[in-house]
Structure formats: structure tokens, C-alpha cells
Chain A
Amino acid sequence: MTAGFISKKVLGALVTLIFVVCFNFFLFRVVDADPVANLFRGKELSQSQRAELREEFGLNGSQGEQFVKYLGQTAQLNFGRSYSTNQPVWDEIKKKAGATIALVGIAAVLSAVIGIMLGIAAAWRRRTKADYGITAFTMGAYSMPEFWLGMLLLTFFAVKLGWFPVGGITDPDSSATGLAKLADQAHHMFLPALTLTLAYLGEYTIIMRSSLLDTMREDYLVLARAKGLRDVLVRNRHAVPNALLPVVALMAINFGFVLSGAIAVEAIFSWPGLGLATYEALKGPDLPMLQGLFLVFSASVILFNLIADILYAWLDPRVRTS
């Protein structure tokens, strides 16, 4: 892989990031003449409170001055202070990112692994009952709002059966440490992680199945069979590695959504991560928090898109020559 290819991709990602940063500025200032009025609709605001809020949002001064000030602050990761906690937004985000990365990271890995396996099984047993069953299951999982699935699982397994806690990350009454604490956290994580895994795996299954069906038409598979290779070897050594290419790209892209992917599900299970923070910032409304979260979510997607591009080019030489 050439340095030229990588530097071109990195440059592209940087330009996109700058675009998002500028976009964020205009989103809150130019799209609407008075974000203060819209965000605080239904609440009584005195004239002086209004002026104070405008000052806090950096809405005073000319557009140019505001923009320069905003760029400088953003470069230093200064997104202002959260209204609800009065802590710097960046500190709040750092504090809450761990819970989200753990939950959604686990769900992303599980859904990819299970989804790919289901996709292989369905493609290899094409037009059999197993294929139809898997396809119907993944289509169903893919078609439901993931937070609704969360509500169903929560009602049945946590409220009705009482097998799992109804929310949070640890039992507030327990003072367990070490392994016991980890077990408690895993117990809390089970239902939200299950919800997200079920919600994500359909996409992997559908793409893996269709990619493998494409690959199965290739001549080198006919050759592998003609050589007398066993079916399992043809599948695992020849068909699957090649069919995995588009799925790998999808995985990298999906990991970019790890931070922002679980807003509604975290809200359902009161999982104290960035998703719940977004939900609460919306109800507040906590504008600086919302802006900071938007930037962080976007940056993570851009970063993982870059990784996906480079990974793909590394795995498939045809990409970098074309």
C-alpha cells in the first residue's frame, strides 16, 4: 500500500472533520434565527435571562467573531459547560464514554460474529428451510425499532420474571468490588447488550449471505471442488475469506457508530453512557452537551470510515489501483 493512498485518505478525513466542525457552528446559529427561543419553548424567560443565554451560547458579536472564537475553543476541546452538571462538556463525555464503549463494543462484536455465521449458514444451505428460517428471523429483527425490542425484553425478563435488573450499570445498594462487581455489571449489561446484538446482526447476515452467494459463482470455487476438496474446506478456505471483504468494511463503519448507536436503548435501560447523556441533554435541553456529543459522534464515524477505507484497500488490492 502506498503512502500516497493513505495520505490522500487521511487528508480527506481531515477535510470532512473540518466540514463537520463548521457545520456544527452554522447549525446552531444560522439555521434558526433564535435557538434560545426554540430550545426553551414553553418556559418563561425574562429579558435578562435571554441575554445571558445568548451570551453563553456565544451568540453575541458578529458572525465572523463568533466563528473565530468557536474554532479556537473547539480546537482545544472546549465545548463549554453542561447546564445540568455545570462541569465541562468534554469531562462529562470522557466520564461517560467508557460505559457506552463497553456496552456497544460487546454488542458490535457479538452481532458481527453471529451475523456472519448465520449469513454463511444461510448462503451455504440456499433455498432450504434453514435459509428461509434465518432470512425470516434476520428480516424480523432488522425491521423492529431496537428500543421497542428493548422494551419487550425489559418488560418480560426484568419486570415480569425478575431475572435481570431493570436498569443502571451496578446495584446501588451493593458495595461489591473486584470480580463480584464485574459480575454485577455483566448482569446489568445482559439485556441491553442482547437488544443491540439482535438489532445489529440482521445487516451482517444479509450482506454476508449475498456476498457469499456472489462468491459461490466464481470459477475458482468450481476448480476447488473439481480438485476433490471436501465441501467444508471449499467453504472455509476458499469461499468465506473472499466473501468476507464487504463485511469487514461494514464492520469498520459500524464501529464508528458505536458511540452514537445506542441512544434510545441506553435510555430504556438507564445505561449511564453517552446515549443516555444525549437523551437527557435533549430533555433538558442542555445545548452545550448536545453540541459536544454531536461533534464527538461525528468524529468517531469519520475516524472509523478512514480505518475502513484503508483496511479495505489493504485487503483488496484492486481498490487502490482503480
Chain B
Amino acid sequence: MSALAEAPSARRIAWLRRRRAVAGAWRDYRRHLPGMVGLVILVLVVAMALAAPLLADEAGLKAINSTGNPTWASPSEFGPLGTDGLGRDVMTQFIWGSRISLLVGLAATILAMVIGSVVGITAGFFGGAVSAVLMRVTEWFLVIPFLPLAIVLAAILGPSVKNIILVIGITSWPSTTRLIQAQVLTLRERDYVDRSRALGASNWHLMSRHILPNVSPLILANTTLTVPIVILSEATLSFLGLGDPSNASWGKMLDDAFESGAVTLEAWWYFVPPGLGILLVVLAFTLVGQALEEILDPRLRDKHG
């Protein structure tokens, strides 16, 4: 250990430098008011989703356990948020629905980011024929209208949480690919990449050690900006009846509310909370994403503010 302290290894230097960079970014982030507002909302919603078993009994999601409750009870008559047409407590559905909405939002985004980054880095790094083929495919996916494609895919695969993650993930990656490929094109011309190559580094080493760390801030910012789009897509697909009936997300709640006639009954307490939940989460992710983008890309600093 003492030897390390005297002459830190290259790896340790890199680690320290990265930790300093993260600390610096956090210092900037803390001063970014919209970003902090978004972060606080996110922390609260995630805490609610994680604590769902403590906050509400999962059994309350089933109509069979709600036979004692009045149906279509308004918030003043029952619980904090009233009941639906089957007597189920809306608050319970809202709390448990946040789990599915967040789960789909995050999982589908991660899937899209992995596909988008792998294709983008490969196309950008190798160029030539590889790039031509990959980018052509990317463009095709960009052009196919997202919603009809997702609808068709979800209808064929059947409604389940797994399938909806899959469908949104494999339809949401192409814009990320384009972004990353463009960035990689400039990175691979840098001197330190040339130097590393001259020292005998393999393509894998160059991509994983030099290119990936340099595009990762971009991937991070893009991730936070993709989550809101994914959550809205999930809501739309669920509303169209393609959501998992046994794991209701906020979007599925809106579908149930509309199908059971909550609009005509003016039962606003059934569909206002899930919509508001989606709005808040989408807004929060957008604020965090924009803040990250500004902090990680100084060229943008003047633009949003």
C-alpha cells in the first residue's frame, strides 16, 4: 500500500481523475435549480415505488378483496383517492402502478441504450462497409413510425410486462445510435487513439478503454432524456389495451378508467392521479436530463438557461 501511495498506478490515477470529474459535475449539478427539482421528484417517486409493500396492501389490487368497499366512491367518501367501479382502492393502485411504470421506463431505456450504443460505437469506430450497413438499418428503424410498429409488435407478442419492455426497447434505439456514431467519428481521429493504436492496442481495447469512457457522458444524458419518452410510450400502449392486465401500470390504470366509463361518471379521482404521476415523472426525467446535458456539454450551457 505504501508503494502505491508513493507511485500510484496508472489505473489509480485514472480512477482518481474520474472521481474528481464526478465530484465536479455534482458540484455544478447542485447549483442547477431545475435539475435539482427534477431529482427531488424522482427520489420521492422511486421511494414510493420501492416502499409500495409498506404503504399499501397488494391484495387491494384485486376486486375479489374489495367487495366490502363502495364502488365509485369519491375521495371524500373513501380513503385518500376514492375507489373505482369494482370497489378497488385507487390509492393502492396508484402506489403499485408506479412500480410497473418505472420498471418498464428504466428497463426498456436500458435495452434501447445498450443496442443504440453498441451499434453506434461499432458503426462509428469501424466505418466503411460495416458503418454503411449498420447506419442504413438504423435509418430504416428511424423511419418506421414508432407507435404503429410498437402496436403491431405488442399485439403479436401478447400483453406482458416483459413483452412491452422488449417492444419499446427494440423500437427506441435508433436516435441514440445516430448521436453516438457521430461522436465516435470525431473521437477515433484523436491523437491519443492513434497513439494507443501505435502501441499495439486491439480494437476491443480501443473501443472499451478509450471510446466508451468518452461517449459515456453522452449516453448518460441521452438515457435520462429517453426514459420520459419510453414512459409516455408505455402509457399509450397500455391505454390501447396492450398493457399487462395482472401488473397494472399508470397507463393501464388510465385504460381501465376509460374502459369502465370513469369519464362519463365524472370519476376524476380514478384517472387524474395516474396521469399526474406520469406527468411528474416525465417532467422530472426531462429536467434531470437537460441539466446533465448542460453540465456535461459546456457548449450547451448558454442555450437552455
Contact = CB atoms under 8 A, between A and B. Distances in A.
B283 A139 contact: yes
Given A145-B278, A264-B236, A301-B143, A151 B254 contact: yes
Interface stretch (B75-83, B152-160, B187-195): B152-160
B297 to A, nearest CB: 13
Interface in B139-153: 139-140, 143-145, 147-149, 151-153
A302 B266 contact: no
Contacts, number: 132
A279 B153 contact: no
Nearest to A37: B158
A141 to B, nearest CB: 10
A108 to B, nearest CB: 15
Contact of B266 (A28, A35, A155, A298): A155
Contacts of A279: 240
B116 interface: no
Given A19-B140, A282-B242, A145 B235 contact: yes
A145 B239 contact: yes
B154 to A, nearest CB: 9
B286 interface: yes
B152 A283 contact: no
Interface residues of A, number: 52
A19 B141 CA distance: 10
A139 B251 CA distance: 20
Given A38-B158, A159-B264, A301-B144, A144 B279 contact: yes
B148 A294 contact: yes
B303 A210 contact: yes
Interface stretch (B1-9, B55-63, B177-185, B267-275): B267-275
Interface string A285-300: 1000011011001100
B266 A145 contact: no
B148 A297 contact: yes
A8 B44 CA distance: 52
A151 B275 contact: yes
A20 B149 CA distance: 10
Contacts of B282: 143-144
A143 B228 contact: yes
B296 interface: no
Contacts of B254: 145, 147-148, 151
Interface of B: 139-140, 143-145, 147-149, 151-153, 155-158, 228, 232, 235-236, 239-242, 251, 254, 257-258, 263-264, 266, 268, 271-272, 275, 278-279, 282-283, 286, 302-305
13 contacts: A28-B152, A139-B283, A140-B279, A143-B279, A148-B271, A152-B268, A160-B266, A210-B303, A213-B303, A294-B148, A297-B148, A298-B143, A298-B149
Given A147-B254, A260-B148, 9 more contacts: A38-B158, A41-B158, A140-B283, A143-B278, A143-B286, A145-B275, A151-B257, A279-B240, A302-B143
A-B pairs, top 10 by smallest CB distance, nearest first, are A148-B275, A143-B282, A143-B283, A297-B148, A145-B235, A144-B279, A301-B145, A294-B148, A297-B145, A19-B140
